[in-house]
Amino acid sequence: MGAAMDHNAEFRHTTVLLDEAVEGVLARPDGVYVDGTFGRGGHSRALLAKLAPEGRLIAIDRDPEAIAAAAAITDPRFSIVHSGFADMVEQLAARGVHQVDGVLLDLGVSSPQIDNPERGFSFRFDGPLDMRMDTTRGASAADFLASADEREIARVIRDYGEERFAAQIAKAVVARREAGAPLTRTDELRELVARTVKTREPGQDPATRSFQALRIHVNGELEELEQGLKAALQLLAPGGRLSVISFHSLEDRRVKQFIAAHSKAEVDRRAPFAPPPALALKSLGRVKPSAAEVAANPRARSAVLRVAERTDAPLKA
């Protein structure tokens, strides 16, 4: 059980790699930018502070609470869209924007989402087993666990949580459900996993991997990331930047592979001396948080920022 807390208090969010991500994405101060994961607006505010008067920032978020928080920003250069970032091409086109100078994505869950028990993201507080980023649509984690078969539950926990006890956890979930007591609360899931997982890394709660897996599945996070990266590349003008912060290896691996696929030439063995093909991206590197940032904000410890720049080469077919 987590410590008692004032549920009416403001849920604060400390933006990870703030300066590095903003510097990475800012190709030109008078450009048009997308903050695809507004959250509580840390990156958006920092970008607005560096944009020229003629610059423009379009923020996107799936979370209705994030959309509500964006109302506090009255800057005329700023607008917010209630959507997932995978749909940014269509959402921007509807607003007359077909090309941008930078796309920033801060993946994962914001601190206000984690720290609010009613959202069900954390095993530290008891609350409804929800986990949806967009609470206005889709099935919750409880819905999934109440309806999916044992094999599907095991697959999700294994593939998205990298959990070696996934089969045992899935069996316990289904046994409880068949006994007439389906999981509906975060504490119930945490206790079930604790009884099922007999060993775990020091300092890590046994439920960590299962909660991550269910959140990723419920929100289609990896599918959205892959679609969102393609959308960003489609939107970026030559010289425009892509700046992505990941928080676990499943995300970072996809970002790394996407950038590599569009920035590294493969030698054609049939014509090894032919000039290399023009590539759509140029990798600008990888950044990890400093020791000081991790000490001040432990949630930053797993973060990785990757930055790439759009070239003037055509996209691969």
Q: What percent of the chain has pLDDT over 70?
A: 92
CATH code for 18-111+221-310?
3.40.50.150
- Specify whether the CB–CB gap between 208 and 123 falls below 8 A: yes
| Residue 8: burial class (beta carbons within 10 Å; 0-12, 13-18, 19+) | exposed
Q: What is the pLDDT of residues 143-168, one digit of tens each?
A: 999 999 999 999 999 999 999 999 99
Q: How would you classify the pairing of strands 304-310 and 78-82?
A: unpaired
| Residue 48 scores a pLDDT above 60 | yes
- Whether 84 contacts 224, CB under 8 Å: yes
> Which residues, including other chains, have CB under 8 Å from residue 16's CB and lie 6 or more apart?
106, 245, 289, 293, 297, 299, 300, 303
Q: Which residues of 233-248 are buried (b: 16+ CB within 10 A; e: fewer)?
A: bebbbeebbbbbbbbb
Q: What is the pLDDT of residue 269?
A: 65
34 in Cβ contact with 60 (< 8 Å) = yes
How much of the chain, in percent, has pLDDT values that exceed 90? 80
Tell me the backbone φ, ψ of residue 244, rounded to 5 degrees: -130, 125
Domain 137-218 belongs in CATH node 3.40.50.300: no
- Residue 157: both structure tokens together: 């926990």
Confidence of residue 115 (pLDDT cuts 50, 70, 90): confident
The pLDDT score that the predictor gives to residue 256 is 97
Q: What's residue 317's pLDDT?
A: 58
- Asked if pLDDT for residue 291 goes beyond 80, the answer is yes
Cα 214 from Cα 212, distance rounded (Å): 6
Residues of the chain with CATH 3.40.50.150: 18-111+221-310
In this predicted structure, the answer to whether residue 6 has a pLDDT above a threshold of 60 is no
Q: For the chain, what is the mean pLDDT?
A: 91
Within the chain, all domains assigned CATH 1.10.150.170 are found at 137-218
236-238-240-245 Cα dihedral, nearest 10 degrees:
70
Q: How many angstroms separate the CA atoms of 295 and 290, rounded?
A: 9
Residue 197 corresponds to which tokens in the numbers above?
A: 């997982």
Least confident range of 14-23, 42-51, 208-217, 243-252: 14-23
Mean pLDDT, range 281-309, rounded to an integer: 93
Q: Are 65 and 39 in contact (CB under 8 A)?
A: no
Q: What is the mean pLDDT of residues 233-245?
A: 98
* Mean pLDDT (whole number) for 220-231: 97
* Residue bearing the bigger pLDDT, 5 or 227: 227
* Confidence check: pLDDT of 169 > 60: yes
pLDDT value for 276 = 64
Mean pLDDT of all residues in 3-29: 71
Does residue 55 or residue 198 have the better pLDDT? 55
Beta bridge partners of 21: none
Q: What is the pLDDT of residues 49-99, one digit of tens each?
A: 999 999 999 999 999 999 999 999 999 999 999 999 999 999 999 999 999
Give the angle 267-243-10 at the CA atoms, nearest 5°.
155
- Cα 311-39-133 angle, rounded to 5 deg: 105
The pLDDT of residue 203 is 78
Where does the pLDDT of residue 265 fall: very low under 50, low under 70, confident under 90, or very high at 90 and above? Answer: confident
